Structure 1
């Protein structure tokens, strides 16, 4: 892929960062594989030929490579020349998580809480409103969960729905949220995919169908029911739970969400909805990258599919909207994990 096909791509920035770290191509490849391994990222080869191609503009790095580079060089995608910054992204980056001073041991918990608060503020569309806003309350619960894991915090459980379109980054963000809170993490596809595929076949359909009435009316309701019932099993024993699923129809349905809130309130459970917003090009890139059979129809009918999405808006029931355009929020989540490891090691 040529440089001219990626507006704002400046491949030479990668070489500048590598040389500033005093790394050869071979050494950078080794460090890149190590960074990827710590975070479960796939960077096939990562040899000097691949890195040379990235630095000279003949190969545009895929999503996992870009995340690994950001971790390796402790920089953002715009700083590494992968793309132009989003509006406000430079301003948000004024507080650089990797530059937080290593605190003394008694202050480690407070430093970790500060890192988490900054990360949530940076990735949120419009920032976090002060006071008792839904965004501030959810962020406080996340920080509270961190403190609870270290001897403090409230025992009241919370149910968090993390929704978004295919390829938006919702699963990665939900996993990040679970990492820092210790809350149970349930992904719809991991929990129900094999059952869904078998049920579609038994009904005479395509196991990878996610768009016809057969799936939408006969199978999808059961899929979400399984997900929600599993969440209730956790919540009934006091375990806070994060659910990762599109939740497109559910979060648009104010009556559905009101019933959920009422059910949670009756059982002493908090509930919050997070919407992960992403741009169409980045979603397509990730969908192509993961190569899942259930995405074949989307890719074959991309314009029809994308025309049916409202990528620039959030459902009315959303408490917090995460700005993951061009993968910005997931990149920051990776760096937040690294910062927490440094603070608490």
Structure 2
């Protein structure tokens, strides 16, 4: 059977993990479907023929399959042979905890808080530097929010912007933060897509346009205005908010960010900015996987689109850069969720 070529892919690792767990192909398929269902992932079929194709190298697993495998086997993508590890990733990903304390034991809360603290540090490029007060403050706020959800009390609200290019994983990482902290999660596309499409049509444009002058000058500013207004509604009520949107122009505009800082300060609100960094191949894979019509131009003009992106540098206003190259941060987020469930259930 012809094998799919994928740099660094070792298909036999999947079989090794399955056999180590004592599973047949059929049993592994059943468990994979259940894992995917429990975590809201789409794994079409997941029958023994598909799993056999993954194991013998004829079918490279898609993003949701890979995430489900990692969750099912409690392993990372490099450990399952999907790709080579990033520098230092072997150590970064080891956050699984054994010999867990009883759920009601205070030690359980401390262990869970430690997992969250380590996950934030490990997902961030260069880790959290003790001499960087903004990084330390944001990490502490995330951990503190989790503690307060279980122990009561609440500090002043915080507005967290999570930016990144299309397909970088910013939405998934934002959901992860929201899961941990309980802060409101506001996604630009979810809030504004219907309005954007209808407005573009009414202006004589293409409802899936996200690149023309018409969209950039007439529609995009309204999208961000609606997103920010939804955030202020939450913040004014004392509810912290996580905003997921590209924020490319905004986070590169230090004057814009300073105005936002001043407004937040006047209202007694903290402000933080996170940038999700990803590699071009993974971004394209995510974009192709979601199959959204609004991405058609990007895919049809990929090299032109890519030429306008800076994949190496983060915007100057960002406090923390999350490393999601090859999906590493999303894998870490999945593992952290799984670990917390084990500790607290």
**Which TM-score band applies after superposition, normalised by the shorter structure?**
over 0.9
| Equivalence for 1:311 | 311
Aligned residue in 1 for 2:107: 107
The answer for unaligned runs of 5 or more in structure 1 is none
| CA apart distance, 1:2 | 6.2
Taking the TM superposition and a 5 Å limit, the aligned residue runs for 1:1-345 are 3=3, 5-93=5-93, 96-104=94-102, 105-131=105-131, 133-152=133-152, 154-345=154-345
Cα distance in structure 2, aligned partners of 1:116 and 1:302? 36
Q: Summarize deviations over 1:4-60 as a string: whole Å, max 9, x none.
A: 621100000000000000000011111111111111110000000000000000000
Cα displacement (A) at 1:121? 1.2
Task: Quote the offset at 1:80 in angstroms.
Answer: 0.3
- Closer, same or farther in 2 for the Cα pair 1:343/1:294, shift >3 Å? same
Q: CA deviation at 1:99?
A: 2.8
Q: How many residues align?
A: 343
Q: Give the conservation status (yes or no) of the 8 Å contact 2:4–2:59.
A: no
**Quick one: distance in 2 between partners of 1:2 and 1:247?**
43
Question: Residue 84 of structure 1 aligns to a residue in which SS?
Answer: coil
Unaligned runs of 5+ residues in structure 2 are none
Conserved 8 A contact 2:277-2:323: yes
Partners of 1:279 and 1:177 in 2: CA distance: 21
CA distance in 1, matches of 2:244, 2:322: 14
Equivalent-residue separation in structure 1 for 2:58 and 2:98 (angstroms): 36
- Per-residue deviation, 1:87: 1.2
For 1:3 and 1:335, the matched residues in 2 are separated by 29
CA distance in 1 between counterparts of 2:84 and 2:122 reads 17
Q: Residue 84 of structure 2 aligns to a residue in which SS?
A: coil
CA 1:2/1:88 → structure 2, altered by over 3 Å: closer, same or farther? Answer: farther
Instruction: Judge conservation of contact 2:159–2:235 (CA < 8 Å) in 1.
Output: yes
Please give the secondary structure, in 1, of the residue aligned with 2:160.
strand
Matches of 2:33 and 2:155 in 1, distance apart?
Answer: 39
Deviation readout 1:248-289 (Å, 9 max, x if unpaired): 000000000000001001111000000000000000001000
Q: 1: distance between equivalents of 2:290 and 2:141?
A: 32
Give the TM-score normalised by structure 1. 0.97
Question: C-alpha separation between the residues in 2 aligned to 1:9 and 1:113?
Answer: 34
Residue by residue, what CA displacement relative to the aligned partner does 1:211-247 show, whole Å, maximum 9, x if unpaired?
0000000000001000000100000010000000000
1:156-213: CA deviation from partner (whole Å, max 9, x where unpaired): 1000000000000000000000000000000000000000000000000000000000
Q: Is the 8 A contact 1:184 1:242 kept in 2?
A: yes
